[in-house]
Amino acid sequence: MTASMPEIQANLERVREQIRAAARAGGRSPGDIRLVAVSKYMPVNYLREAIRAGQHIFGESTVQDALDKLPQLQDPEIEWHFIGHLQTNKAKHIPGNFTWLHTLDSLKLADRLERKCMALEAKLNVLVQVNISNDPDKLGLPARRIFDFIEQLLTAGHTRLTLRGLMTIGQHDASPAERLREFAAMRELSIACSARFGESCFRELSMGMSSDFELAIREGASIVRVGSAIFGPRPQPD
């Protein structure tokens, strides 16, 4: 079952302390780690409870669920991140509603987002999704294609999209050692991209979820996406 209201506040503080400890263990400042509370299918009152506990960054991964929630949460301090796979025909819903997209994986999608941003005079921070494990069941670009894709992205003339870094989703059934290897490979890829294209485009590395965010921080994650450790198991949609 999902967490109760009092548990959400306690869970958030526990996750924050784990982030602080993992950052310190890696010689990093805890303030450099951004916590995205993954709120997919969670009722709005649960998000309000998290907001009361000081959480203002939320991640949604389905367009319709997000569009149902956003009008009910008009707090200007909320920063919305879209972290799920985005079909090009739904790209129009992201600019103006979200300030971050974690799952950019095609130039066609980038072009659609740019056009909608221009129409709304909006801007959007984007992360390129990497399939670092080369798992055929995972979305994202394989690491071998990242340089070519970023070269094309940066020369496409987009003025409303700001490339901020890379994102990956770890394998669910991987061992801790395997996840560490994947996170380390992402860190090395981020460093290589920064050296080739400029540090300003690769200051963010989004990786790590409820089961492995501490390992991700150890390997350089600057954004972690945590859902069940805050809200409890995700309810199924109706």
CA distance 6 to 25: 29
Residue 132 lies in a domain: yes
Q: Give the structural domain span for 64.
A: 5-231
Written as six digits, the tokens of 228 are: 């069940």
Residue 237 lies in a domain: no
Residue 140 lies in a domain: yes
For residue 108, give the CATH number of its domain: 3.20.20.10
Question: Which runs of consecutive H residues, i.e. helices, occur in 121-175?
Answer: 146-154
| Average pLDDT of the residues in 180-184 | 96
Residue 181 lies in a domain: yes
Specify the pLDDT at position 172.
79
- Report the mean per-residue pLDDT for the chain: 95
Q: Which helix (H) or strand (E) holds 45?
A: helix 44-52
* pLDDT tens per residue across span 185-198: 999 999 999 999 99
Residue 236 lies in a domain: no
Task: Please count the structural domains in the chain.
Answer: 1
Residue 32 lies in a domain: yes
Could you give the angle at the alpha carbon of 65 between the alpha carbons of 3 and 170, nearest 5°?
Answer: 70
CA distance 85 to 111: 16
Longest pairwise C-alpha distance within the chain: 49
Residue 148 lies in a domain: yes
| Average pLDDT of the residues in 125-149 | 95
User: Helix 5-25 to helix 44-52 angle, to the nearest 10 degrees?
Assistant: 60
Q: How confident is the model at residue 138 (pLDDT cuts 50, 70, 90)?
A: confident
Those residues whose C-beta lies under 8 Å from the C-beta of residue 64, and which sit 6 or more positions away, are none
Residue 118 lies in a domain: yes
For residues 112 and 91, is the Cβ–Cβ distance under 8 A? yes
